Amino acid sequence: MTTTPLSPSTQTQQQPDSLGRFGRFGGKYVPETLMPALAELEAAYEQYRQDPDFLQELDGLLGDYVGRPNPLYFAERLTAHYAKPDGSGPQIYLKREDLNHTGAHKINNALGQVLLAKRMGKGRIIAETGAGQHGVATATVCARFGLECVIYMGVQDMERQALNVFRMRLMGARVQPVAAGTGTLKDATSEAIRDWVTNVETTHYILGSVAGPHPYPMMVRDFHGVIGKETRQQALEKWGGVPDILLACVGGGSNAMGLFYEFVEDAQVRLIGVEAAGEGTETDKHAATLTKGRPGVLHGAMSYLLQDEEGQVIEAHSISAGLDYPGVGPEHSYLKETGRAEYYSVTDGEAIAALQRLAQLEGIIPALETSHAIAYLETLCPQLTGSPRLVINCSGRGDKDVQTVAKYLGSAE
Amino acid sequence: MTSVSDCFQALKKQGTCALIPFITAGDPNLGTTAEALRVLDQSGADLIELGVPYSDPLADGPVIQAAATRALQQGVTLDKVLEVVQSVQGEVKAPIILFTYYNPIFYRGIDNFLAQVAQAGVKGLVVPDLPLEEAEVLLKPAAAQGIDVTLLVAPTSPKERIEAIAKQSQGFIYLVSVTGVTGTRTEVASRVKDIIPSLRGMTDKPIGVGFGISQPEHAQQIKAWGADAVIVGSAFVKRLAENSPPEGLKAIGEFCRSLKAAIVTDQ
């Protein structure tokens, strides 16, 4: 197994500046108590991202424990579904992050951070979770390394992702319910940060998205960068080129950044992120931060944010707990503002239909989060000419969502 | 009202340790907040911190979080909070320091925000999610409006950082007594005892200690360790929240006097 630095040094313009900014986004808007911890984390990350022993351990575990590389799968019947009468149409591939151990991309980052925490001598791990995938990934790596683990989760999310709550507890994690606000990911994240402020000297916070204060957006992106790197390699093997279009769902945006980052400098590759429109972006029940939000500060970073006329953060809404977040990672805000990436949104109903479509055409039940990316094919495919190669990040599997889907379909009948 | 810096100057001359109570604006309602400012002013408060309710108060514990949520549910806005501040001008002598998170400031625009709060009579600002590196955008324009932006120092801050913060902080230096969020605790963190003299060696700016202080004995201890001001928040907010407005006002008046007595009658 080869060990390569986590970030190619040629991509300097995509590194945040010394204050952790991507353009005007990012930064460190946190209580003073956390500033030394962020500096310590930054220093540790800078040290170990180039450290051969660290990279070898990470690569070994990504292979034998997570099961990487996962396939770049040609979705033949989905491709046929979107083919035009003349036979042209996008060639659709799925990057199978759903086949990772624990069923989603989240473990790439959880594993990287736990190895870092171990080297930093932190024996206690905390994390926030929405859909429960990041919580499960964190509980998993904590079990693997014998570390104490506390997962903050909104009470509403605990109800709609009950299976994942049970999985975390099975692996010895304590799941701490958060009832504040609407009991979703935003509130769980705030509570995790409060825990970190209190226990900062003994605890590492494994933040689960490309959000939060610097260095998290950069570090989480880099740990997920393996998704894009494998995709490049596999595309080269399969058709001797790069993908024409990359498509991924965006809540905080970790799976999208993981796929996009490798290709940001390949200007011919279209990068498309799909947000959750909930009941519709014209309603007040959505999570389409980049589509409808304005710049603001949440959970330590300047980024697009759903907020009211007083600068108070608005509760997001999505059927998908993992996308139900009023903020977004700062690098996505930067990619949007520079025009490098495009962002659209699809509704709850469109996501459910896409989940059913993929299940029936390919025998793959995607997570509700992932289903948002797949749903955007309905809009995108008719606009495309020729037969571009399109890679969707199949970021997670849908086992955790079957009850939510059953409930939705039951009430829709 | 005088400026925060002038207020501390005067107190220093008298050799008095300042008492700074904190209340959340709009809990239980704005009328009670206005009255509470008067009561605190007359009960020994030297300065008053007024919390602007925010949807995601990262640095606050359960008591102040709940107060902010209740205030927001009633439709309390920054404009309404500033109206309250304006309404007590001339009556309340203690300088009012606004405690607010950064996003509402950013949303309004820094210059616009500063002009409005200065107009209302606010003398100081504490922004808990704006550490030194991010505070630069606020420090200069605030000084131009005559508003002191007080920065926080934490028990985890290394020496070089404390020096840099002490240099930039205006009015006083806000020393957070614990690693943690606001809220009452049974004991005062003993690390404060060591940090205060070390701060003294770096700056002649006044040192105010807050977070976790809820009893007159705590205040007395903090004073004995050499602080120039004691900041008490959740214990006031709780008294207002747990009683009817008239009883709550009476309770915070009594509590304020007991804290004051503890720090003036030092052995």
A403: region left, alpha or beta (phi > 0 left; psi from -120 to 50 alpha): alpha
Within a domain: residue B45? yes
In this prediction, residue B265 carries a pLDDT of: 60
Please spell the DSSP secondary structure of B105-157, one letter per residue: HHHH-HHHHHHHHHHHT--EEE-TT--HHHHHHHHHHHHHTT-EEPPEE-TT-
- Count of C-beta atoms within a 10 Å radius of residue B11: 18
pLDDT at A104: 96
Known catalytic residue at B49: yes
Task: Please check whether residue B184 is in contact with residue B63, taking contact to mean a CB–CB distance below 8 angstroms.
Answer: yes
The 10s digit of each residue's pLDDT in A138-163 is 999 999 999 999 999 999 899 888 99
Q: Distance from A33 to chain B by nearest Cα, in Å? A: 5
* Token output for A318: 């999505």
Q: Hey, of B129, B150, B182, which one would you mutate to test binding to chain A, going by the most A CBs within 10 A of its CB?
A: B129
Give domain status of residue B167, yes or no: yes
Dihedral through CA A112, CA A113, CA A117, CA A119, nearest 10? 30
Structural domain harbouring B119: 4-262
In a domain, B73, yes or no: yes
Q: Select the residue from A30, A190, A312 to test the B interface by mutation, using most B Cβ atoms within 10 A.
A: A312
Is B134 inside a domain boundary? yes
Residue of B nearest to A296 (CA): B103
Q: Which of B49, B56, B133, B148 is catalytic?
A: B49
Q: Which residues pair with A249 in a beta bridge?
A: A274
Residue B203 lies in a domain: yes
DSSP string, A4-56: --SS-TT-GGGS--TT-EETTEE---S-GGGHHHHHHHHHHHHHHTT-HHHHH
Cα–Cα dist A230/A271, whole Å: 17
* CATH number, domain with residue B95: 3.20.20.70
Contact B156 A297 (CB under 8 A): no
**How far is the C-alpha of B202 from the C-alpha of B160, rounded, in Å?**
10
Q: Can you name the residues that pair with B173 across neighbouring β-strands?
A: B207
Rg of chain A taking only CA atoms, in angstroms:
20
pTM: 0.95
Q: How many CB atoms lie within 10 A of CB B90?
A: 9
| Chain A contact present for B150, CB below 8 A | no
DSSP β-ladder status, A245-249 and B18-24: unpaired
The alpha-helical segments, DSSP class H, found in chain B are: 4-14, 30-42, 62-73, 78-87, 102-108, 110-120, 132-144, 159-168, 191-200, 216-224, 234-241, 245-264
3-state helix, strand, coil in chain A (%, to 5): 45, 20, 35
Q: How confident is the model at residue A346 (pLDDT cuts 50, 70, 90)?
A: very high
Q: Which two tokens stand for residue B6?
A: 């002038």
Rounded to 5 degrees, what angle do the CA atoms B126, B101, B194 make?
45
For A294-308, the pLDDT digits (tens) are: 999 999 999 999 999
Task: Give yes or no: B148 in active site.
Answer: no
Which chain B positions have a beta carbon within 8 Å of A312's beta carbon?
54-55, 72, 103-104
Q: Is B255 within a domain?
A: yes
Q: Does the residue B267 lie in any domain?
A: no
Tell me the C-alpha distance between B5 and B148, whole Å: 8
B183 close contact with A: CB closer than 8 A: no
A200 closest CB neighbour out of B103, B108, B156: B156
How does strand A389-393 pair with strand A245-249?
Answer: parallel
Distances, alpha carbon B161 to alpha carbons B1, B14, B158, B199, in Å = 32, 31, 5, 11
pLDDT at A5 over 90: no
Split into its structural domains, chain B has a count of 1
In a domain, B189, yes or no: yes
Q: pLDDT in tens for each of the 267 residues of chain B?
A: 699 999 999 999 999 999 999 999 999 999 999 999 999 999 999 999 999 999 999 999 999 999 999 999 999 999 999 999 999 999 999 999 999 999 999 999 999 999 999 999 999 999 999 999 999 999 999 999 999 999 999 999 999 999 999 999 999 999 999 888 888 788 777 889 999 999 999 999 999 999 999 999 999 999 999 999 999 999 999 999 999 999 999 999 999 999 999 998 644
Stated as kind and residue range, the H or E segment containing A402 is helix A402-412
Q: How far apart are CA B224 and CA B201, in angstroms?
A: 17
Would you state the pLDDT for residue A12?
Answer: 38
Query: Of how many residues is chain B composed?
Result: 267
